[in-house]
């Protein structure tokens, strides 16, 4: 079994195509069932990460090539023809390195953004709970999270940290002379929506309403909670909205050009800023054609600002060096554990066939390895596994084997 992954991201695929390969609450159970039923015999453990920047699937597999797994997965999502050429694949150490880059924010469109590590951890928790993630892949994710944290805390990669909600706020601050006087409506009730509300409220934008499919109380912090209005009242609600932010799971846009056109008439063509954080998108792109509607998608807002990019780029180089060193240590630790495991089983076999006199001589020896060589109890190629151990380690292992 070897670690493998495949996926698409903002570097290989534009937003309109990334929308075709999204794993979210609406299709996650179906994806898990599909993956287990079709590839269960070749896969030990798996999980997937799907954000506005990427969708990736990670797993341990006995297959040398995973092209067929990736292709069938795209077919399951109905996206095989358009996305096949955009897929990337990583295996082994390269896969570990890529996962560390992703979790630390080094592979994000906004370099060093802070939300990805939380998304990575949440995905791990979800797939562990669903009994898809276990064994060596689960242990590896612990190492990857630890490495990603080190890359962030031991460098300034997150200097003046940016987030999608932070970038959304920056757009608002650049467009409106006095953002605090504007009315904000957020569509959605997930973590992104809560982050937007908290960020805006902390920056004096307090006229906030929320819309969701079902009635829900959004607890933003200890001092702020908002009750959502049903989605059916969207048209009426946004007539008094100056800033509309959407972040809701939907396979198709829930806000079309016709609705915004009608709302604009009711508003007397008062300008409206629309920020679509959904992937797939929540707002039809044709809304851009309306004169007083200013639409920004997730791609647009991430290109608006690259503040401190030079500083963060320099820190990214340091972060990559840290990741490389820690992966090297991780590989060495794994090799050491395997070598000790091999030595243990060889020594166990030797002891099982050893006379009592030889055993007594061995445990009293100050150089047990030389004693084993002189006793001629095993071929040299087997003894080689034991040669790397210290005399103390060999004697400790002997006592452990005998007491087992």
53 annotated as belonging to a binding site for a ligand: yes
115 annotated as belonging to a binding site for a ligand: yes
291 annotated as belonging to a binding site for a ligand: no
190 annotated as belonging to a binding site for a ligand: yes
188 annotated as belonging to a binding site for a ligand: yes
List the catalytic residues. Answer: 52
How far apart are the C-alpha atoms of 2 and 62, rounded to whole Å? 6
Phi, psi of 137 (to 5 degrees): -70, -40
Measure Cα distances from 389 to 385, 398, 402 in Å: 8, 12, 18
Helices (H), 206-355: 234-237, 257-266, 298-304, 309-352
52 annotated as belonging to a binding site for a ligand: yes
How far apart are the C-alpha atoms of 75 and 69, rounded to whole Å? 10
Q: What is the DSSP letter of 228?
A: P
Strand order in the sheet with 54-61: 43-50, 54-61, 2-9, 88-91
Measure Cα distances from 240 to 154, 285, 377 in Å: 46, 22, 88
404 annotated as belonging to a binding site for a ligand: no
108 annotated as belonging to a binding site for a ligand: yes
308 annotated as belonging to a binding site for a ligand: no
Omega before residue 280 within 30° of 0, cis = yes
352 with 359: CB under 8 angstroms?
no
Helix (H) or strand (E) run with residue 48 in it = strand 43-50
Among 143, 163, 192, residue whose Cα is nearest residue 24 = 192
Helices (H), 154-297: 164-175, 191-202, 234-237, 257-266
Binding positions: 51-54, 108, 113-115, 119, 188-193
Which segments are annotated as binding site for substrate? 51-54, 108, 113-115, 119
Residue positions in the annotated binding site for NADP(+)?
188-193
């Amino acid at each position: 079994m070897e670690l493998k992954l495949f996926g698409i991201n903002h570097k290989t695929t534009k937003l309109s195509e990334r929308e075709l390969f999204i794993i979210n609450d609406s299709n996650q159970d179906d994806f898990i069932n599909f993956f287990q039923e079709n590839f269960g015999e070749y896969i030990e453990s798996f999980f997937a990460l799907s954000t506005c920047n990427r969708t990736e699937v990670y797993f341990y597999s006995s297959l040398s090539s995973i092209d067929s797994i990736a292709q069938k997965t795209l077919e399951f999502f109905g996206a095989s023809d358009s996305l096949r050429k955009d897929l990337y694949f990583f295996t082994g150490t390269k896969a570990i390195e890529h996962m560390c880059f992703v979790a630390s924010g080094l592979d994000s469109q906004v370099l060093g953004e802070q939300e990805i590590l939380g998304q990575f951890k949440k995905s791990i928790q979800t797939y562990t709970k669903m009994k898809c993630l276990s064994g060596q892949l689960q242990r590896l994710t612990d190492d990857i999270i630890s490495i990603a944290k080190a890359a962030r805390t031991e460098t300034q990669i997150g200097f003046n940290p940016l987030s999608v909600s932070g970038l959304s706020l920056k757009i608002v601050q650049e467009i409106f002379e006095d953002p605090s006087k504007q009315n904000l409506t957020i569509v959605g009730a997930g973590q992104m929506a809560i982050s937007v509300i908290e960020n805006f409220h902390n920056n004096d934008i307090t006229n906030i309403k929320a819309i969701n499919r079902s009635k829900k109380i959004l607890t933003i912090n200890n001092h702020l909670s908002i009750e959502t209005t049903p989605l059916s009242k969207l048209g009426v609600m946004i007539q008094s909205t100056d800033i509309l932010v959407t972040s809701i799971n939907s396979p198709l846009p829930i806000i079309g050009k016709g609705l915004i056109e009608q709302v604009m008439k009711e508003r007397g063509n008062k300008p409206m800023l629309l920020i679509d954080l959904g992937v797939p998108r929540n707002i039809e792109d044709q809304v851009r054609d309306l004169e007083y509607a200013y639409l920004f998608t997730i791609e647009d807002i991430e290109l608006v600002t690259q503040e401190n990019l030079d500083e963060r780029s320099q820190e990214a180089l340091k972060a990559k060096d840290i990741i490389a060193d820690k992966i090297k240590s991780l590989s060495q630790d794994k090799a050491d554990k395997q070598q000790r495991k091999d030595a243990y089983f060889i020594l166990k076999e030797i002891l099982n066939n050893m006379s009592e006199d030889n055993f007594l001589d061995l445990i009293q020896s100050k150089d047990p390895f030389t004693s084993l060589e002189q006793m001629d109890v095993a071929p040299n190629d087997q003894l080689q596994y034991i040669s790397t151990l210290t005399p103390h380690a060999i004697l400790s292992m002997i006592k452990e084997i005998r007491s087992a």
